[in-house]
Amino acid sequence: MKFRFALAALATTAMGLAIAQTPAPTPAPAAPAAAAVEIPPPPKPVGTAWVLVDYITGQVLAGENYNERVEPASITKVMTSYVLAAEQKNGKIKPDDQVMMSERAWREGGAGTDGSYSGFAVNKTAPLLDMEKGMAVQSGNDAAIALAEHAAGSQEAFASLMNNYAAQIGMKGSHFVNAHGLSAPEHYSTAYDLALLGRAFIRDYPEQYAFNKIKEFTVGTITQPNRNLLLWRDASVDGIKTGHHSGAGYCLMSSAKRGDQRLVAVVMGSTSEKQRADDSLALLNWGFRFYETHRLYEPGKAIATQRVWKGQAKEVQLGVAQPMLVSVPRGRYEQLKPTMDVPKTLVAPIAAGQAIGTVKVTLDGKVVAESPLVAITPIEEAGFFKRLWDAFWMWWESE
């Protein structure tokens, strides 16, 4: 009987240690928080649809009609750029490929049309990298068509790739039929979908994304400026793309980064080049003024520990693999509530970087940041007798 009570006491102690060794994570120290600021209504752009999205969390900070179908005009070329970047990553095409400016590309998107063009010579080739920049900076319809033909054989086949990648990104309200964005039946998107695309492009292909902040580009004897006026107005703006035709109005997908904080704004159906730029910058400034980004956890640093059975060590340190950031209304950092969800029982061996659980951060009961918890250091499997002893205690605690 005494032996049974002793075992029970030891088991209770062991369980207490396990609980004590798994504290809820605490946000990393930050600069003294400012008093909470009452957030005024956002500036309302002139246009048919608009949205302002936080890059880190994907949260919609403000918007109107952002799930309604609109014609994306030349913002379509961001989808084209995304597909080209993905196909390069997959080894299907290369930056030094020689891309032919076909007769069709020249006739449908060249200087003889009403749209923007790059000026590459018809029936001649140019490096894929140059045509990418001609499409991104000059918004060249001719370059977009030629690149689509090179990557997929035809613009129609390339549109299928565009729709496949759009689905992967989560663009549920979009459908593409061409690479350039001129008006066509069944060619549409939404302001929210385009914001998703902007976030994905920045995150997945930063090298190609950087083409969009180039202020001018020369093809032959023709030098043309980037049509995104914000590149000249605000040094924090580094993209993304303008668009315009009679059916779509004036459109702008923009992004700016100040410190750790990045925002993406989409304004569709505006009335002029200046108006779309004015409204986009006003939205970005509003977002940066009333929201702030905090760096919660750094990779490689322990934020919690968890009991491990049958291992050479009794506990494993848990952290995050990537920096964990969160954007919240200014002055509300101290109200964040972190929680940790890990398996009740962990058994060695455990590899470094192995996903163990999840850390979530909430504000007003809503999850504002979430990241996998990973093992910072490996835990090797223990010897036979230690594994046997731990197996006994695991059995005891399960009763």
The per-residue pLDDT for 34 is 55
Instruction: Name the pairing type of β-strands 291-297 and 98-100.
Output: unpaired
End-to-end, the C-alpha distance of the chain in Å comes to 17
Query: Are the C-beta atoms of 130 and 147 separated by less than 8 Å?
Result: no
Please indicate whether residue 190 or residue 383 has the higher confidence score (pLDDT).
Answer: 190
Closest to 135 (Cα-Cα) out of 94, 201, 78, 184: 78
CA 74 – CA 178 distance, rounded (Å): 10
pLDDT band of residue 29 (cuts 50, 70, 90) is: very low
- pLDDT 10s digits, 333-351: 999 999 999 998 899 999 9
Q: Where are the domains of the chain?
A: 2-28+298-398, 49-291
Any idea which residues carry the catalytic annotation? 74, 77, 139
Task: Specify which residues 251 forms β-bridges with.
Answer: 243
Mean pLDDT over residues 207-228, rounded? 95
The per-residue pLDDT for 279 is 98
Confidence of residue 212 (pLDDT cuts 50, 70, 90): very high
Q: Among 155, 150, 149, which residue's Cα sits nearest to residue 178?
A: 155
pLDDT beyond 90 at 278: yes
> Which string of b and e fits 4-42 if b means at least 16 CB within 10 Å?
eeeeeeeeeeeeeebeeebeebebeeeeeeeeeeeeeeb
Highest mean pLDDT among 19-28, 115-124, 388-397: 115-124
Give the class (CATH, top level) of 2-28+298-398. mainly beta
Residue 223: predicted pLDDT:
94
By the 10 Å C-beta count (0-12 exposed, 13-18 middle, 19+ buried), 139 is classed as buried
Q: Which pTM value belongs to this model?
A: 0.82
DSSP code at position 334:
G
Per-residue confidence (pLDDT) for residue 219, from 0 to 100 = 94
70: pLDDT strictly greater than 50: yes
CA distance 64 to 52: 10
* pLDDT, position 38: 84
Per-residue confidence (pLDDT) for residue 134, from 0 to 100: 95
Q: What is the average pLDDT value for the chain, to the nearest integer?
A: 89
How big is the chain, counted in residues? 399
**Amino acid in position 249:** G
pLDDT range class, residue 188, cuts 50, 70, 90: very high
Q: Give the pLDDT of residue 37.
A: 67
Q: What fold characterizes domain 49-291? A: Beta-lactamase (3.40.710)
Rounded to whole angstroms, the Cα distance separating 186 from 159 reads: 12
